[in-house]
Chain A
Amino acid sequence: MQTVQPRSLPLRLPRVRPGGVLPILLILAVLLVLVGIRQPDFLAPPSLMSFLGRSAPIILLAAGQYFVIVSGEFDLSVGSLVTAQVVVAARLIDSDPARTWPVVLLLLAFGALVGLVNGLVTTRLRVPSFITTLGMFLILVGAVYLWSDGAPKGGLSEEFRRFGRRAFEDVPLLGRVPYALLVLVVLAVAAVLLMRSDFGRTLVAVGDNPRTAELSGVRVWRTRTIAFILSGLAAAVAAILLGGYSGVSFQAGAGLEFGAITAVVLGGVALGGGRGAVVGAMLGALTLELLFALMNFYGVSGALRSTVQGGIILLAVAVSATRSSSR
């Protein structure tokens, strides 16, 4: 019978604080080395740039999910939101290039609206976000099938699709720079700046301890609602890129919500909120994509993807949980 447990005297090992991005950087580096050994061509600028462009949607979704998770909630609706957006875009554009921009704006507004509803239901009606966004998931999937009678209609214009599939060719040094990569870089910088602003600090404070935040004058409900809106917007952008890259289907966003949550957790962000960096979340997504690419190179069957994904999450979270033994 042990009565007093030696409560984790913080071993001052190399400064790996929980929630830091160092572990994920290490994993990423190891994967890059493995890729380099197996498939050196992959690391050549053109193919690396294409890879980054392809990974842009899931990285953006991870950033969106990060805002929600760090504020202490979940967003399970993003996958279905992406599907809904892609199907809606195809039907509204109906292959007419002139409608591209209005539809893009509409998609962003739709994403923000879904986020707003998620946020308000969660914060004002006090429904746990797990249930809110699960309900939203069912509603969006059902609505989008209903609206299109079970099969996607219309088509995306070439104008619309270029965001996801075209690139600036013949760029010196880099070879080609996909539009998607540019969008990603701009939004990633914006996300980092946002997290350094007052809003970012407030968001983390809310996730860390909503009661304290409330007492220090933060309007918790408003902060969390904004986080949901950001997640909805991220899903809208991801949908535009994904629709462009892989076209219209009811499977466009399937499973992306769990992919994004995996990436966020892999990036050292604590579920329950208050800890972790947005860069970590985005690197987590990149790591996951790189891992899938690596499995491809080693000829691992695509069917085993999820097993590896599951193993990686469990390992990463178990390691970080045992390291930070206080809660």
Chain B
Amino acid sequence: MSALSLLPARRPVPGVFVALTLTLAIGWLVVLLDGGQLFNQSTTVSLLHVAAGLGLVAVGQTLVILGGSLDLSVAYVISLSTLVAAETMNGSDGAVLPAIGLVLAVSAGIGLFNGLLVTKLRVNAFIATLGVGLLLKGYLDNGYDGPAGTTAPSLVQSLGYQRVGPVPVSFLLLVAVTAAAWFALSRTRFGHHLIAVGGDPEVARLSGVRNDRVLVTAHMLCSMCAGLAGIYLASRLGSGAPRVGTEGLYDLESIAAVVIGGTALAGGRGGVVGTVGGVLLLASIDAIFNQLEVDAFFKQVIRGAIIIAAVAVYARRAMRKAA
């Protein structure tokens, strides 16, 4: 806490980490009473794997939401990225780097398109990214019936399954991406401009921020994060999967994780660290329920309730602060 008080401009760590700690403590106790063990090697590893996939998307989503925008196309970008990655590699280790480059280029292109629609054509972000998502969905539905391509074995072994102790390499990737995003948001001009644009676009514009450029960059970064998540999923699955993004509900879940992490949906307030907290919270609930062998559908009901409750708590706090 003392470290925080030295930085008056910085917000305190969002309540999501309190919620995460409580959830893990209660979950640990309940699982223990049930005769299981929450923190053994395999559950921890699978928890971190779930968190890595969702986390990569959610960190990108945080950037656009901070800027007052939104990206509903990420689920399709993920699916497309798994296919681009797996088909480019086609099982050969030599093609890993070109494949990763191609995925990032393709996803950056989609992000650029999203960004231009939102800024230059002034299409509402919800509709713009929904529309782009539908365009991609049509392409995927039309071209693919099932898994395609083969991920290079070296990538499967490294990013897909290798780990340092209980921590998968993919989670380390998430940590690295989060750190980069945190740095960009709190230490660079881009970050300050992005938050200014999300807070009040008109004020930002009058203060000399190039709103359009900032938002387009945020959209490109968001799509590239989704592309990274696609590469990770391709390395887990061993091939490209045309429906993996939508079946995982990555679009809506990433937005939920961002909001649970304390970032305002209207933009201008929040950060990536909270988002990772939100992702870990969702993944922990998953892990606890898996341990208790709770019905998968019941899990979803609880998930929905938690998302609403978490945001209601934030809204209450914001209201009290305003009063």
Contact = CB atoms under 8 A, between A and B. Distances in A.
Interface of A: 74, 121, 125-128, 130-132, 134-143, 145-146, 150, 258, 261-262, 265, 271-272, 301, 303-311, 313-314, 317-318, 321-322, 325
Given A142-B301, A313-B127, A313-B131, 13 more contacts: A74-B126, A125-B308, A125-B315, A126-B319, A130-B255, A131-B255, A138-B304, A143-B297, A146-B295, A261-B127, A306-B137, A310-B137, A314-B135
B72 to A, nearest CB: 9
- Majority secondary structure, A binding face: helix
Given A125-B315, A131-B259, A317 B128 contact: yes
25 contacts: A126-B312, A126-B315, A128-B266, A130-B265, A134-B252, A139-B300, A141-B297, A142-B297, A142-B299, A142-B304, A146-B295, A146-B297, A258-B130, A265-B127, A303-B141, A303-B142, A307-B138, A307-B142, A308-B138, A309-B138, A310-B133, A310-B135, A317-B127, A317-B128, A322-B121
A263 B295 CA distance: 36
B56 interface: no
Given A134-B255, A137-B304, A303-B141, A272 B124 contact: yes
A187 B26 CA distance: 50
Contacts of A307: 134-135, 137-139, 142
Nearest to A140: B304
Interface string B108-122: 000000000100011
Nearest to A258: B130
A134 B139 CA distance: 26
A271 B124 CA distance: 7
B121 A311 contact: no
B256 interface: yes
B249 to A, nearest CB: 8
Given A265-B127, A310-B134, A310-B137, A321 B297 contact: no
A101 B117 CA distance: 48
Given A138-B307, A313-B130, A321 B123 contact: yes
- Majority secondary structure, B binding face: helix
A31 B127 CA distance: 22
Contacts of A258: 130, 134
A135 B305 contact: yes
Interface in B284-319: 295-305, 307-308, 311-312, 315-316, 318-319
A84 to B, nearest CB: 12
Given A258-B130, A301-B142, A131 B124 contact: no
A110 to B, nearest CB: 16
B173 to A, nearest CB: 27
Contacts of A305: 138
Contacts of B303: 138, 142
A138 B124 contact: no
B207 to A, nearest CB: 15
Q: Which of B121, B127, B128, B136 has the most CB of A within 10 A?
A: B127
Contacts of A132: 308, 311
Interface string B233-270: 00000000000000000001001100100000110000
A150 B295 CA distance: 10
A177 to B, nearest CB: 33
A32 to B, nearest CB: 24
A146 B312 CA distance: 25
Nearest to B121: A318
A142 B316 contact: no
Contacts of B123: 314, 317-318, 321
A136 B132 CA distance: 25
Contacts of A150: 297
